[in-house]
Structure 1
Amino acid sequence: MIYEIAELYIKPDAHDAFQAAVAQAVPIFKAASGCRSMRLDRAIETPDTYHLVIGWETLEHHTVDFRGSDGFQQWRALVGGSFATPPKVEHFATAVAGF
């Protein structure tokens, strides 16, 4: 499993709408091929910053299957207007599983 971590900077006046849109998008991710988990975390010290953390079976499930899908277009239509800057997206694999 790999994790997509998208760092999202949201317009100061768009937090409620953004969080509602992400909640609305949960079924999109749940239906996506290879998607195993999804959560949205909000930074405490910098509240305009969020991390969208999505677990994918493989990198290609995200970069090929999801990004080429109608679900991706629906996702971007729901949340794209809330972004203050373009998202920064990186992929991670667990190096040490603590507890």
Structure 2
Amino acid sequence: MITEIAKLKIAPEQAQSFEQVVEAARKHFLASADCTSFRLDRVIEEPGTYLLIVGWTSVAAHMDDFRQTENFQRWRALAGPFFVEAPSVSHSVQVI
């Protein structure tokens, strides 16, 4: 399993609306058999900054498979208008 960590930046005054949209969009991730977990964290020290943390079976499952689906397009249609800059995405694997 790998973890996708996407750093998302929005206008701080839109936080409540953004969180509601992400909650509604959660189903689009979890509909993928390769998605193992989903959460959104708010960064305390940086108003308007969030970490989207998604578990996947592999990097390819996220980057090659999920990103080609209608569910990804729905996610971007819902959340994309909130982004004030392009998300920064990295993948990690637990070692300990």
For normalisation by structure 2, the TM-score amounts to: 0.95
Which residue pairs with 1:73 in the alignment? 73
Greater helix share, structure number:
2
> In 1, distance between residues paired with 2:33 and 2:83?
25
> In 2, distance between residues paired with 1:47 and 1:11?
8
> Which blocks of at least 5 consecutive residues in structure 1 are unaligned?
none
Which residue pairs with 2:59 in the alignment? 59
Describe the SS at the equivalent of 2:26.
Answer: helix
AA aligned to 2:11 is K
Q: CA deviation at 1:13?
A: 2.4
Which residue pairs with 1:26 in the alignment? 26
Q: CA deviation at 1:33?
A: 2.9
1:47 aligns with 2:81: no
Q: CA deviation at 1:20?
A: 0.6
For normalisation by structure 1, the TM-score amounts to: 0.93
> Which blocks of at least 5 consecutive residues in structure 2 are unaligned?
none
Describe the SS at the equivalent of 1:13.
Answer: helix
Q: CA deviation at 1:47?
A: 2.1
> Deviation per CA, 1:59-79, whole angstroms, max 9, x where unpaired?
111001110000000000000
AA aligned to 2:30 is K
Describe the SS at the equivalent of 2:12.
Answer: coil
Describe the SS at the equivalent of 1:50.
Answer: strand
> In 2, distance between residues paired with 1:85 and 1:46?
14
AA aligned to 1:14 is Q
> Deviation per CA, 1:15-64, whole angstroms, max 9, x where unpaired?
11110110001111110130000000001111211000000011111001
